Structure 1
Amino acid sequence: MIQQAFEMLGLTPRETQLYQTLLKLGPSSIRDIAEHSGINRGTAYEDLKQLQSKGIVSYFPKGKRRFFTAENPDILLNLAEEKRNRLNKTIENLKNTIIPNLHQQQPDYHQTHVRYYEGDDGIEWVLRDILNVVSQQDHKEYCVFSSKPIRPFLYRPFPNYTKQRVKLGINVKVIALGDGGEEAELSERKWIKTEGSVDASYIAIYPPKCAIISLASNNFPSAVVLESKDIAKAQQIIFDTLWKML
């Protein structure tokens, strides 16, 4: 705990040891500090100079020798507050200046980011991503194409998904391929009747992303997430057009 706090302030384990040694000894010569800390004199001297530059240690001459002394531990809180203030200023600069400037340096073209996920953990990540993205939008709604064979496996890693969706006030429109599907709160559902069985598939449209989930052999789930405003918009147009026709 102590070492972690010192590391957050930018002190190395050796510097921390020297500071704590000085607190116990009081004003001391480099020889005494090295002896009690177990750090050789040359290394201890260099580290003490670093501590001095950070304002944690000071020294005074006594005869021909230097005596070092540790500053009051309250100085550590001052250092932390200074570090926090610098970090807050950096965050503001990132938000208001640096990141916008970096975005302007990017080529003016639309790039599709593609990510792949496998297994129950991967499917859970995709479902949580849907909730996270949609919950931050003004119009909290997404659209889904879903077939019956995938439903038993879709929410297996995230059984309370629907409750979480409703809790976040997220609406969903579902076009079901084939029979089945349960009515749920904040959910609208329409059906496309099919001849015979349909393959396991699930497509979620939640701009700027689309997620495609399917089953491989042995019902092993996998997903592809496309992040592209253009693709998501095209898929949304297809969904909305079909929805009006059903």
Structure 2
Amino acid sequence: MKYTKLLTLLGLNKNEADLYLISLQLGPSTAIQLAQKVGVTRQMIYTLLPQLIEQGLMKETAHSSKRLFQAIGPEVLNDRVKNIADQVKEAVPILKTREAANSSVPILSVYENPISMREWYRRFMNEAKEGDQLFIWATNKTWLSADPDFLEEFLAFKKKNKIKDYILAPNTPESRAQAEKLKEEQPYAEYRFTDSWWHTNAEKWLWKDSVSYLTINENATNLIVLESKALAEIEYYNFRQIWHQLKP
């Protein structure tokens, strides 16, 4: 059924979810009627019904000496969602204490879509200090379009904390227009434009000991992050060599 998967995300198994949805449609029904509609045995239905009643999703009524069962209105699901959210909120700090010490700084991380890439941005916003520096080989592509709402938050964080961006970009009208467009959001960014630019939709970012490679495509935007102090030092050296050769 259409909403079975949704209910399983709220902790019900498939049979429980199907029973709840069918009962919601039928209204007060006997156990036999529900078993037939759900497609389970009589023994199974008498196992499922008490489980849903205990979870507050169904109730038992009586009519003309018949035992009837009825789903509680779907508003009850809001309470279930809130309860799960409260449990998750309580569990996260505990789980963080059990996280492996080196798991927050892996040697190599691959984020295969803009949503998973948020982990890197969140890490940056949690760890970056005021005045930190970010070195970027940029393209003339609008990387903001990959996840606009979240990346606007990222830009706001950089602006508030005066993060200094040093950006190498292609010397093209599109690239200069993009830099001008983002001037207000990135007041601490400094650009230098090169005529010897790369003809790919890839960017490279340097921050602390991480080297990040970002590919920008409509259906395949991803981020590869390499954590290595030694390799980062090489990349910083290469960046500065090019930077100082270009005019401000």
TM-score (norm 1): 0.52
- 1:1-246 to structure 2, matched below 5 A, reads 3=4, 6-11=7-12, 12-17=16-21, 19-20=23-24, 23-25=27-29, 28=30, 30-34=31-35, 39-57=40-58, 67=67, 69-70=69-70, 72-73=72-73, 76-95=77-96, 97-99=97-99, 102-103=100-101, 112-113=107-108, 137-138=128-129, 139-144=131-136, 154-156=139-141, 158=143, 168-169=158-159, 170-174=163-167, 185=183, 186-189=188-191, 198=196, 200=198, 203-211=204-212, 225-230=224-229, 231-233=231-233, 235-236=235-236, 239=239
Q: 1:115 to 1:76 in 2, by over 3 A?
A: closer
Amino acid aligned to 1:232: A
Instruction: Give 1:130 shift.
Output: 8.8
- Aligned-partner Cα distance in 2 for 1:223–1:81: 33
Alpha-carbon separation, structure 2, partners of 1:67 and 1:245? 85
* Cα RMSD for the two superposed structures: 5.4
The whole-number CA distance in structure 2 between the counterparts of 1:207 and 1:3 is 46
Q: Secondary structure at the match of 2:87?
A: helix
Please report how far the alpha carbon of residue 142 of structure 1 lies from its aligned counterpart in structure 2 after TM superposition. 1.4
Deviates more, 1:10-19 or 1:30-39: 30-39
Whether the 8 Å CA contact 2:23–2:34 is kept in 1: the answer is no
Report the residue type matching 1:67 in the other structure. Answer: R
**Following TM superposition, by how much is the alpha carbon of 1:17 offset from its aligned partner in structure 2, in angstroms?**
3.6
Letter in 1 for 2:67: F
Q: CA deviation at 1:157?
A: 5.3
Distance 2:235 2:142 in 1: 26
**Deviation of the 1:226 alpha carbon:** 4.4
Higher Rg of the two aligned structures: 1
Matching residue's letter, 2:189: S
Structure 1 residues 71, 203: CA separation in 2 closer, same or farther (over 3 Å shift)?
Answer: closer
Contact 2:140 2:170 in 1 (8 A): no
Task: Quote how far apart the aligned CAs of 1:243 are.
Answer: 6.3
Q: Tell me the TM-score normalised to structure 2 length.
A: 0.52
Taking a change above 3 Å as real, the CA distance of residues 112 and 211 of structure 1, as seen in their structure-2 partners, is same
Q: Which residue of the partner structure matches residue 149 of structure 1?
A: none
Counterparts in 2 of 1:133 and 1:155: CA distance versus 1, 3 Å? farther
What CA distance in whole angstroms lies between the structure 1 residues aligned with 2:90 and 2:17?
28
Quickly say closer, same or farther: Cα 1:132–1:140, change in 2 above 3 A.
Answer: farther
Q: 1:224 and 1:199, CA in 2 relative to 1: closer, same or farther beyond 3 A?
A: farther
Aligned length: 208
Shift of 1:82: 2.9
**8 Å contact from structure 1 (residues 58, 71) kept in 2:** yes
CA shift, 1:155, in A, is 1.8
Sequence identity of aligned pairs in percent? 12
Determine if contact 2:20/2:58 at 8 Å carries over to the other structure: no
